[in-house]
Amino acid sequence: MRFVYKNGLEKALTFSYDDGQAYDRKLVEIFNKYGMKGTFHLNSGTLDGVTEIPGEEFVKSEEVATLYEGHEVACHGVNHLNMPALSVSVTVSELSDDRLDLENLTSKLVQGFSYPFGSYSPEVISAAKAVGIKYARTVNATHGFFPPSDFMQWHPTCHHADNVMEYGKQFLDVPGYVELPLMYVWGHSFEFGRSKDWTVIEEFCEMMSGKDNIWYATNMELCDYLTAIRNLEYSADGSMMHNTSALSIWFLSDEGKLTEIKPGEIKSV
């Protein structure tokens, strides 16, 4: 038996972009053009403002819901502070207030997070869990395609400037022993905007688009699906599985038959 992604898809690809600068508008346009799904980690306290670079601005609060429609909005702290240097109470406020603000703007649950500056500690992880965060992305590249072992320390495959085309080619030809292969690309849209060169992300999206074996998913969609698999309950002899989640789960039998386990269903392996 081998677990697969939604509807039997073999692989998954996701993106994560931080800070919510106005360059996100162009990035969303590229993602939509090629059918990609992205997660955008926003600092609610900087929305509607300007950056330290003359002429640059952040996304407007009023456009958040429509701009990121079809993608995921997630937390990055209200003010993009280095959380390990903060007291626990301030860390909790940075996270809970960011969640509250973004949920009010999107009318959706916001339960994802990326660590500002990629900086975190056991105390920050505990605070994030306490306010309802389900996953948190680091900036530590794995250069691999295995799903994360710990969603509160979700290490991406690579930054988009880190040989992303080469890793993309490897992902398309990933060895069969990698179960539930996942490629995770992260960065900041201002890196394209300031250089006025969007070539690498457009070429990468074009290369990865239209594949009938890839699930183009947000961070949260992947977190929820993989967590559902990990929360399956088994009979004593391992011959039955109980899906306790609200999501359908798919697996391939040793004979190659695709089987769906619906929410609440008990299925023989």
pLDDT at res. 269: 87
Instruction: Give the bridge partners for 3, in sequence order.
Output: 251
Mind listing the pLDDT tens digit for each residue in 197-242?
Answer: 999 999 999 999 999 999 999 999 999 999 999 999 999 999 999 9
Return the CATH class of domain 10-228: alpha beta
pLDDT at res. 46: 97
The Cα–Cα gap between 238 and 51 comes to 56
The Cα–Cα gap between 60 and 50 comes to 10
Nearest to 80 by CA among 19, 152, 31: 19
* Whole-structure pTM value: 0.97
b/e string for 195-230 if b means 16 or more Cβ within 10 A? eeebebbbebbebbeeeeebbbbbbbbbbbbbebbe
**Does the structure show a pLDDT above 90 at 260?**
yes
Residue listed under structure tokens 């969609």 = 221
**Does the structure show a pLDDT above 90 at 194?**
yes
Domain boundaries, the chain: 10-228, 233-268
Mind listing the pLDDT tens digit for each residue in 100-154?
Answer: 999 999 999 999 999 999 999 999 999 999 999 999 999 999 999 999 999 999 9
Q: Which residues contact 63 (CB under 8 A, 6 or more apart)?
A: none
**Does the structure show a pLDDT above 90 at 90?**
yes
pLDDT at res. 142: 98
pLDDT at res. 8: 96
Q: Which residues contact 37 (CB under 8 A, 6 or more apart)?
A: 14, 15, 31, 70, 71, 72, 216, 217, 218, 221
